[in-house]
């Protein structure tokens, strides 16, 4: 079984995002970019399925600028077999992304597509579910466990009240949650090896997908800032402050 793993290049999660003063977006010039953390978890899960003998080939896909190659090389260094860069300098919305991934799925015939549950920049939490709709496949979102059993996959999902398990017919879509696994670091020899693994470059037009945005960003602004309050000297002072607000047993 082949596994398709979409990976997005995003602002590193340790970097504090800064809104540009002209209100057009977040400043991404000269800041550290990394693979979306949920996508690292997706790559790791695919590799584990390959190590278990369930998967035979892992194809990493990224939609983005030429630099997204670095993100794909990271996926290859972790253990993906080959990569596809769908190169564009435009911001591509989840619906258009899902259409691109659908076209790639049609061409590649994967048994599973493993996406992140959300990208930590756009925070949309949509792409996997949309891809599931377009392919007509079942979806196991926010996964904390994935078990392939014959022609089905059983997915344990993190839901508001706790955990839920669903059984899906393959091929299927999975989106990762944080506790699915702990992604490995690529070793130096694997980073070297990744440089010679195949990486194809395509364009959205190759897949017949129009990426013109449906949603216009009118402006991007700073959230209301919350200012620090006071430090209390001890528990007694805290108790007094809380009681003054009506908070007590």
Ligand X SMILES: Cc1cc2nc3c(=O)[nH]c(=O)nc-3n(C[C@H](O)[C@H](O)[C@H](O)COP(=O)(O)OP(=O)(O)OC[C@H]3O[C@@H](n4cnc5c(N)ncnc54)[C@H](O)[C@@H]3O)c2cc1C
Candidate residues 22, 89, 151, 160; the one interacting with another protein per rule CB under 8 A = 160
Instruction: Sort 128 into a burial class: Cβ within 10 Å, 0-12 / 13-18 / 19+.
Output: buried
Give the C-alpha separation, 39 to 17, whole Å: 20
Of 30, 103, 123, the closest CA to residue 63 belongs to 103
Q: Considering the rule CB under 8 A, would residue 154 count as an interface residue with another protein?
A: yes
Q: Considering the rule CB under 8 A, would residue 149 count as an interface residue with another protein?
A: no
Residue 6 binds which of ligand X, another protein, none (CB < 5-8 A, kind-dependent): ligand X
Give the C-alpha separation, 139 to 159, whole Å: 14
Candidate residues 1, 57, 122, 147; the one interacting with ligand X per rule CB under 6 A = 122
* Residues 146 to 205 in contact with ligand X, rule: CB under 6 A: none
Give the C-alpha separation, 76 to 194, whole Å: 5
For 121: left if phi > 0, alpha if psi spans -120 to 50, otherwise beta; the answer is alpha
Torsion angle of the four alpha carbons 166, 171, 175, 180, in this order, in degrees rounded to the nearest 10 = 70
Closer to ligand X at the Cβ: 63 or 138?
63
* Residues 1 to 20 in contact with another protein, rule: CB under 8 A: 11, 13, 16-17, 19
Stretch that binds ligand X, among 115-123, 144-152, 189-197, 227-235 (CB under 6 A): 115-123
Closer to ligand X at the Cβ: 90 or 149?
90
Size of residue set near ligand X by CB under 6 A = 36
* Residues 182 to 221 in contact with another protein, rule: CB under 8 A: 213-221
């Amino acid at each position: 079984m082949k596994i398709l793993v979409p990976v997005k290049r995003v602002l590193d999660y340790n970097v504090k995002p800064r809104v540009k003063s002209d209100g057009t977006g977040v400043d991404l010039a000269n800041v550290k970019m990394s693979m979306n953390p949920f996508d690292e978890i997706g790559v790791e899960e695919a590799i584990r399925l390959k190590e278990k003998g369930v998967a035979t080939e892992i194809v990493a896909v990224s939609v983005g600028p030429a630099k997204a190659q670095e993100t794909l090389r990271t996926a290859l260094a972790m253990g993906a077999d080959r990569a596809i860069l769908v190169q564009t300098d435009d911001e591509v919305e989840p619906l258009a992304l899902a259409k691109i991934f659908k076209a790639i799925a049609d061409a590649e015939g994967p048994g599973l597509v493993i996406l992140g549950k959300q990208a930590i920049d756009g925070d949309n939490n949509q792409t996997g579910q949309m891809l599931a709709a377009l392919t007509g496949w079942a979806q196991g979102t926010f996964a904390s466990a994935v078990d392939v059993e014959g022609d089905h996959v059983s997915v344990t999902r993190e839901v508001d009240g706790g955990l839920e398990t669903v059984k899906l017919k393959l091929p299927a879509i999975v989106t990762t949650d944080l506790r699915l696994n702990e992604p490995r670091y690529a070793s130096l020899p694997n980073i070297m090896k990744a440089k010679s693994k195949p990486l194809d470059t395509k364009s959205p037009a190759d897949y017949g997908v129009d990426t013109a945005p449906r949603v216009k960003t009118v402006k991007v602004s700073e959230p209301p800032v919350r200012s620090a309050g006071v430090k209390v000297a001890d528990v007694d002072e805290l108790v007094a402050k809380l009681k003054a607000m009506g908070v007590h047993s």
